[in-house]
């Protein structure tokens, strides 16, 4: 199955800019940005981020408030803090052998950087890779990582897979099946997440949010600091 998948990928794989580099910093940024964010939104933000902070040392030296400003619009702002702290760790100590030692880096992100940047023989398993592996029942090699991601994203879809165009359909035991929708996160509109985001946008814009509960949550996460009656970005 690997050969069929890789042949398909050579023709149909997505042309993503971080696939043209082996820089672990650039790949880490792409992986952190892509968590719960559509790749179409990530591409221009990844490019502008690297223009502003082209090296991990440059990001490590940046003020925390600037990093939070640079992240606006990507959502889940704690990812910006984790990326900043990871950069500071690497700038001070180098890349650890176990990449999960970096702040905010879980098993998948660690494996993605290890595979795509350092060439280690590990298969990064995200939701798309897991879906294809489970439906086909095949143990794919690490070389198939990016191909599996694209197949799961564009063909082996969560509910109604496009089996008619799948390169693995002939040998797939799940061919033709339809699947129940997985549990989705609650709506953003009207949620506490939306209130937090609105409060942080206000601080970034230089105004004062009036939502004390949201400000308290942002302060606990290190996204703002409160000086008397004034809410500010971290230094």
Distance CA 71, CA 48 (A): 10
Read off the pLDDT band of 179 (50, 70, 90): confident
Q: Is the pLDDT of residue 183 over 70?
A: no
Marked catalytic residue, from 31, 40, 101, 219: 31
Which of 114, 52, 65, 62 lies closest to 88 in space, CA to CA?
Answer: 62
The pLDDT score that the predictor gives to residue 184 is 65
Q: Distance between CA atoms of 80 and 218, rounded to whole angstroms?
A: 13
Cβ density class 153-167: b for 16+ within 10 Å, e for less: bebbeeeebebeebb
What gap in Å lies between CA 92 and CA 73, rounded to an integer?
29
pTM: 0.89
Residues 146-155, mean pLDDT to the nearest whole number: 96
Is 31 considered catalytic here? yes
Q: For domain 23-116, give the CATH number.
A: 1.10.340.30
Q: pLDDT tens digits for 205-216?
A: 988 999 889 999
Give residue for tokens 């952190």.
32
Structure tokens at 174: 């799940």
CATH code, residues 1-14+122-184: 1.10.1670.10
- With contact defined as beta carbons under 8 Å apart, do 233 and 84 qualify? no
How many angstroms separate the CA atoms of 53 and 60, rounded? 9
Q: Taking the domains of the chain in order of start, what are their residue ranges?
A: 1-14+122-184, 23-116, 192-232
Q: Work out the burial of residue 222: count CB atoms within 10 Å of its CB; fewer than 13 is exposed, 13-18 middle, 19 or more buried.
A: middle
For residue 160 the two structure tokens come to 């109604």
Q: Which of 173, 171, 174 is nearest to 161 (CA)?
A: 174
Residues 53-92 pLDDT 10s: 999 999 999 999 999 999 998 988 999 999 999 999 999 9
Please give the Cα distance from 234 to 55 (Å, whole number): 22
DSSP state of 10: H
pLDDT of residue 185: 62
Cα separations in angstroms, 196 against 73, 96, 143 = 13, 33, 40
Q: How many residues does the chain have?
A: 235
């Amino acid at each position: 199955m690997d050969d069929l998948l890789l042949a398909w990928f050579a023709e149909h794989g997505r042309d993503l800019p971080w696939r043209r580099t082996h820089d672990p910093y650039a790949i880490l940024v792409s992986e952190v940005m892509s968590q719960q964010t559509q790749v179409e939104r990530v591409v221009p933000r990844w490019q502008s981020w690297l223009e502003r902070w082209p090296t991990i040392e440059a990001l490590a030296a940046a003020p925390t408030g600037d990093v939070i400003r640079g992240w606006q619009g990507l959502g889940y702002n704690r990812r910006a803090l984790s990326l900043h702290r990871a950069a500071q760790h690497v700038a001070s100590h180098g890349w650890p052998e176990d990449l999960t030692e970096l702040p905010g880096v879980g098993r998948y992100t660690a494996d993605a950087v290890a595979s795509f940047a350092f060439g280690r023989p590990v298969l990064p398993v995200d939701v798309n890779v897991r879906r294809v592996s489970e439906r086909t029942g095949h143990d794919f090699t690490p070389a198939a990582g990016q191909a599996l991601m694209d197949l799961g994203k564009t063909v082996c879809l969560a509910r109604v897979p496009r089996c008619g165009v799948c390169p693995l359909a002939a040998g797939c035991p799940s061919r033709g099946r339809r699947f129940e929708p997985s549990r989705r996160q609650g709506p953003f509109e009207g949620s506490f997440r939306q209130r937090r985001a609105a409060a942080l946008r206000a601080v970034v814009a230089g105004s004062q949010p009036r939502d004390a509960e949201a400000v308290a949550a942002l302060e606990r996460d290190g996204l703002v600091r409160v000086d008397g009656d004034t809410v500010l970005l971290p230094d």
